[in-house]
Structure 1
């Protein structure tokens, strides 16, 4: 082997090592992000004991809007505000606000782990929308994964069973609104700056929630509740920022399956804060959703159809 070949081999090894380190860093960041989202959901469930739903939603979006503005506007200036589709930006923000409101309502009545599992069928619903609304071709394997995910949902919900209640349908509404949010995100991402989309999402949610705020505002019994609301806003904002950093370091096809680790973090939060442990039947449904959802999301990203983002609360 010549010195030139030896040097080239060493350079390739260094490149592979650096790439491996970046991928491992991306995986670590994704796990940290979903831990933030699980903490957000746990804090949200705690807040519903004393804080009106609309007031909690307003604080969550006001925190994101202000934090995003303080970080992004000085760096990007007026470019951050430029958009070719202001109506779609408004609709996207309204859809996410609806998703968040349904998430708050769902968490008031449902255990954390079951809620998180149902919400994570959103990528499978996107497949259904792509086939029925966008007229995309869907493979038999993908249809099988969609069917498996919905079967897992039915196992958790158990319609007709003693544990079933109308409140368990709330996360289904969340999944539908979030799926439309994801489809619209895909459409806007072709022409819009992602940071601009993130900026408008926060402010649209904050402003729309402000309209209803006078009817929901109440004096909280302790400053601890305000601290909890700030924690919710912080975890939501930081979680999405960390997720962006993760996708800058590793391919989405590698990272997407790790989003389903949020189910495990939700189970941990439910156990620590509410002594909620899913039964064997619910665990079976969760596993089915995680397997089908992770496989379906991986296929979606590999085919570069619709970008997958976690559902927000």
Structure 2
């Protein structure tokens, strides 16, 4: 086992951080592509391309022949529920992207850690303390700064982004619940399989034949980049602890702002910048506090076992 401060351990951690940054940049490219596609085809087709192409690519690596027993799950209802939540998150987020800037959607989506903290009590028995509630309250204040409700703020589609954030929070909690029951390959396989089936059901009624070859290319790129992003995320967690990687999720905000400016000439408003800063600060506080509490629990367990 590598010592935490050893050169090899440090190199592995840095590799994990680098892969995490690449993963979240992939997710930013996915959202930017989805926004561009929504101006050429309907959202149902965009969601379909994201899931089906991702599934076909993942099938080359994770399938019942290369990974025997991949379909075997101890918690089928949780697997289906988790997959449905991820699909709902994608569909809601892509729908919001039709009307909102990239920086707005990503700022609202990063309210997910606050919902995780709220739901972790009743679902996982991990109740938050007073300091957590203060951080959560500040985080939601940041969301209000981004959305500016009742003040001639952004499009009502901001509610879709908020709903997507709730779905993602519940998805994250169920992922933690499944970690002790099913291998990650099984969980990843079900996510893409269920999403592909759900996205394909309405397709015969909503199909629009693209008139531009570039649209087909963007559809392929959407699924491929989304799939690569998820693979990078998995590999990153093999090289570094989740608590170390979590703050680097916020690189996605920087990437989304940059892509919004480059591709759509969208510059964040002062309200969005202020709100995003509050959201990021609150989220990082929650992550760091959780890391300190986990370290304290580990120390107590170690001392108690001596």
> For structure 1, which runs of at least 5 residues remain unmatched after alignment?
1-10, 305-313
Q: Distance in 2 between matches of 1:227 and 1:21?
A: 36
2:266 equivalent in structure 1? 276
Report the alpha carbon displacement of residue 300 of structure 1 after superposing the two structures with TM.
Answer: 3.8
Q: Does 1:66 align with 2:66?
A: no
How many Å apart are 1:33 and its aligned residue? 0.8
1:107-161, CA deviations, whole angstroms, 9 ceiling, x for partnerless residues?
1111001111110110111101123554532121211111111010000000111
Q: Report if aligned partners of 1:257, 1:295 keep a CA contact under 8 Å in 2.
A: no
Q: Do the aligned residues in 1 keep the contact of 2:24 with 2:229 (CA within 8 Å)?
A: yes
State the Cα distance separating 1:258 from its structure 2 match. 0.7
Match of 1:310 in 2: none
Tell me which protein shows more helix as a share of its residues: 1
Report what 1:227 is aligned to. Answer: 217
Pair 1:166 & 2:156 matched: yes
Please list the CA deviations of residues 212-257 of structure 1 after superposition, one character each: whole Å capped at 9, or x if unmatched.
1111111101111011111111111001111111111111111110
Question: What RMSD over aligned residues (CA atoms) do the two structures have, in Å?
Answer: 1.9
The superposition leaves residues 41-86 of structure 1 with CA deviations (integer Å, 9 ceiling, x where unpaired) of 1101000001111111111111121112111226643321111122
Which of 39, 45, 56 is the matching residue for 2:29? 39
Is residue 108–residue 158 contact of structure 2 (8 Å, CA) maintained in 1? no
Q: Give the match for residue 214 of structure 1.
A: 204
| Unaligned 5+ runs, structure 2 | 295-306
Contact 2:25 2:252 (8 Å CA) reproduced: yes
Q: Please name the residue that 1:88 is paired with.
A: 78
2: CA distance, partners of 1:168 / 1:255: 28
Cα 1:302/1:58, change in 2 over 3 Å = farther
How do 1:139-218 residues align onto structure 2 when only pairs under 5 Å count?
139-218=129-208
Pick which of 80-89 and 212-221 moved more: 80-89
Q: Tell me if the contact between 2:20 and 2:232 (Cα under 8 Å) persists in the aligned partners.
A: yes
Contact 2:138 2:278 in 1 (8 A): yes
Residue in structure 2 matched with residue 265 of structure 1 by the alignment: 255
Seen in structure 2, the aligned counterparts of structure 1 residues 92 and 301 have a Cα distance that, compared at 3 Å, is farther
- Residue 246 of structure 1 pairs with residue 236 of structure 2: yes
Stretch deviating more after TM superposition (18-27 or 216-225): 18-27
The answer (yes or no) to whether the contact 1:109–1:167 under 8 Å persists in 2 is yes
Aligned counterpart for 2:47 among listed residues 57, 61, 69: 57
Q: 1:150 to 1:12 in 2, by over 3 A?
A: closer
2:98 to 103, 108, 128: 108
Of the structure 1 ranges 25-34 and 163-172, higher mean CA displacement relative to structure 2 is found in 163-172
Aligned residue for 2:300? none
Distance in 1 between the 2:77 and 2:122 partners? Answer: 24
Q: Work out the number of aligned pairs and report it.
A: 293
